[in-house]
Amino acid sequence: MDENIEEIENKNSFRDTFSTAKRSMLFAYVNEKRLVVYTFLFSMILAAIVYIQAASFSVIVNEIIRMQSNGLGITRALIKQSVILGISFLIPAVLQNLQSKFMNELSVRISTHIELLQVDSYSSLDIGTIEGSEFQTKLQRASKWGTGSIWNVIFYSKNVFAGIAGFITSGVVLFLINPYLVVLAIIGAAPYYFIENAFGLKFFRIYHLWTDESRITSDRLGYFKDPKKLVEVILFNITKLFREEIKDNDNIFDNKVIDLAARQSFATFWADFLQVVCLFVAIIFVSIETIHGRLLLGSLFLAFTAYRGFVSTSQQFFTDFSRLEEQSRFAKRWFDIFDITSKIMTKPHALKPVWEKPPRIEFKNVSFAYPGTDKVILKNVSLVIEGGEKLAIVGQNGAGKTTFIKLLCRIYDPSEGAIVVDGIDLKDIDLDHWRQYLGVLFQDFSNYNMTIRESIAIAKPDEPIDDKKVEWAAEMTDASEFIKELPKQFNQLVWKSFKDGVELSKGQFQRMAVARIFYRDAAISILDEPTSAIDAVAEEKIFDVLEKQMKGKTVVLISHRFSTVKNADQIAVIEHGVLKEIGTHKILMAKKGRYEELFTMQANKYLENNE
């Protein structure tokens, strides 16, 4: 058995349900206090008032019988109970409309609050945690039922509160008539709770253990939803393979769910049978009581109504509570994710130094291994980047180059050693403050579904868009060439799935991404293969502009094209996580080491391709 399932089954289910329900309700109350109070209050009143109606009607019946027996006219008691009965029917008519209105509004608003909570939670985490298999597995398990499980917990909590109100009211009425009726009603209703609870846990277990297979199915379906991936699937005739995988996975899962649902239906049948038997016994009991004069006719009606109401309320209460437990199991998965804290955090009282010019950056014996692994990606790297210097990093794939810049951005912290900025350990600097000085372009950059002007200006999201600067940044990367050919130019929506939206080529997207770096105009610019999808002519222009426009600013550049790095102030060669060489192009070529070997190899290959 899966270890997590054993843990789930061994825990105090009621305690977990209460804890999750409490947290869900607190979340709703904090965000929508008025709606929560009104919705719960009205639900409880509506659940209890039906028994007030029945009690009032029974008094009216008994009073009419008394009047007929004694030859009386309309009495004050009859008028009083009639008024009470009328009001008891008027109140639900008003409250039901209000409750429906408040419930719909609460549902919509809570959905928005949950989405915002997701944004806040995910954005507060470090990349290492998000990329980790543990987080991804938790997210997949939570996502199986969606964040709607949190709303379901709130909904069923409301029903449970209403059930308690109805349960108490009907129970008191029934108890006053005869305590044995309460015992019969509980016996008839209790099995529903145990059935719902037992099978709810079994259903949860199926979904919980099916996480990996579900991820495979989602992945395969993704190839048919993404037009770019679908082209390759069709060309290589992969459809049949993926279809069979989806079919096999889903059939096994579906059969388990169908079989369990059939077993639950069978168990429910016997619960229904027991309930009918108990009802039959109750009817006989109250009938005998009425025949012997211990109950009046109105009281007989009240007894029957209260019994049926008590059984129905109890049954619904147990069902709702069981479903509350079931949904709490799924909602708890979301709260477990929301409770994850970032491993990369700003220290209390962190420093916020102000640099008028780019600071000096030093790597001191920096080593790094990704969390949860023993594989060392960087080993004892030591180097200095002077303020305003341009450092180029070269090396083969997997050498550790991207990891180097992730450490510089403090996406990760070194496993050993330290990164020092103007004599201050990077860990002691406020994280948001540090990143204000950075402009970063990773090889796997994001394409924003916005207008072109917005997509470039997003590099400074907290400032109003400077249209002149947007156009200048586009000009610096030659992006203006294709932008001016678009129907709406800088106001063109780059989102093909929307009306009037367009799709750009990978190279065009990359030019816009580089334009964001120019627009940001940061003290320290970090570029990871910024021109990998751009033609040689445009690439040369971009690097010429980089050299001219970023004088006096620090640039860290990763590139496989040695022609683009030879003008850097320093060139660092990293292999297998080790800093092999560092120096200017001239010094490294004269050294006849690894850099010279790689540079010559690439130059010769270029010459061969152009002969």
606: CATH = 3.40.50.300
Domain boundary among 338, 369, 385: 338
Within this chain, do residues 420 and 503 fall inside the same structural domain, yes or no? no
Within this chain, do residues 324 and 374 fall inside the same structural domain, yes or no? no
Q: Is the pLDDT of residue 9 over 70?
A: no
Is 549 part of any domain?
no
Within this chain, do residues 167 and 35 fall inside the same structural domain, yes or no? yes
Within this chain, do residues 188 and 319 fall inside the same structural domain, yes or no? yes
Domain boundary among 521, 542, 563: 521
Q: Is the pLDDT of residue 12 over 70?
A: no
**pLDDT, greater one: 131 or 108:** 108
pLDDT band at 75 (very low <50, low <70, confident <90, very high): low
Q: Is the pLDDT of residue 385 over 90?
A: yes
CA 227 – CA 242 distance, rounded (Å): 16
Per the CB < 8 A criterion, the answer to whether 223 and 233 are in contact is: yes
**pLDDT, greater one: 297 or 310:** 310
Within this chain, do residues 205 and 324 fall inside the same structural domain, yes or no? yes
Q: What is the pLDDT of residue 3?
A: 42
CA 579 – CA 399 distance, rounded (Å): 10
Is 541 part of any domain?
no
Residue-wise pLDDT for 575-607, tens only, equals 989 999 999 999 999 998 888 888 888 767 655
523: three-class secondary structure by DSSP: coil
pLDDT band at 1 (very low <50, low <70, confident <90, very high): very low
Whose tokens are 């129970």? That residue is: 171
Mean pLDDT value across residues 76-98: 77
Which runs of consecutive H residues, i.e. helices, occur in 124-225?
127-131, 133-143, 148-177, 179-209, 211-225
For 416-452, give the DSSP string.
Answer: EEEEEETTEEGGGB-HHHHHHTEEEE-SSPPPPSSBH
Within this chain, do residues 96 and 199 fall inside the same structural domain, yes or no? yes
Is 3 part of any domain?
no
**pLDDT, greater one: 316 or 359:** 359
The structural domain count of the chain equals: 3
pLDDT band at 354 (very low <50, low <70, confident <90, very high): very high
Q: At what angle do helices 239-291 and 227-235 cross, to 10 degrees?
A: 120
Within this chain, do residues 567 and 513 fall inside the same structural domain, yes or no? no
Residue-wise pLDDT for 494-524, tens only, equals 888 777 888 888 888 888 998 999 999 899 9
Q: Is the pLDDT of residue 541 over 80?
A: no
Is 388 part of any domain?
yes
Is 598 part of any domain?
yes
Q: Is the pLDDT of residue 252 over 90?
A: no
pLDDT band at 361 (very low <50, low <70, confident <90, very high): very high
Within this chain, do residues 246 and 318 fall inside the same structural domain, yes or no? yes
Is 430 part of any domain?
yes
The 8 Å CB, 24+ separation contacts for 255-259 are 256/206, 257/203, 257/206
CA 316 – CA 379 distance, rounded (Å): 63
Percent of the chain with pLDDT over 70: 89
Residues of the domain holding 610:
347-437+524-533+554-611
Q: What is the pLDDT of residue 359?
A: 94
382: three-class secondary structure by DSSP: strand
Domain boundary among 311, 338, 365: 338
Is 153 part of any domain?
yes
Per the CB < 8 A criterion, the answer to whether 21 and 159 are in contact is: no
Within this chain, do residues 127 and 43 fall inside the same structural domain, yes or no? yes
Within this chain, do residues 289 and 353 fall inside the same structural domain, yes or no? no
Within this chain, do residues 222 and 164 fall inside the same structural domain, yes or no? yes
Is 6 part of any domain?
no
Residue 315 CA to its chain's centroid (Å): 34
Residue-wise pLDDT for 448-479, tens only, equals 888 999 999 999 988 899 999 999 999 988 88
Within this chain, do residues 505 and 413 fall inside the same structural domain, yes or no? no
181: CATH = 1.20.1560.10
Tell me whether strands 376-385 and 361-369 are parallel, antiparallel or unpaired.
antiparallel
Q: Is the pLDDT of residue 371 over 80?
A: no
Q: What is the pLDDT of residue 364?
A: 95
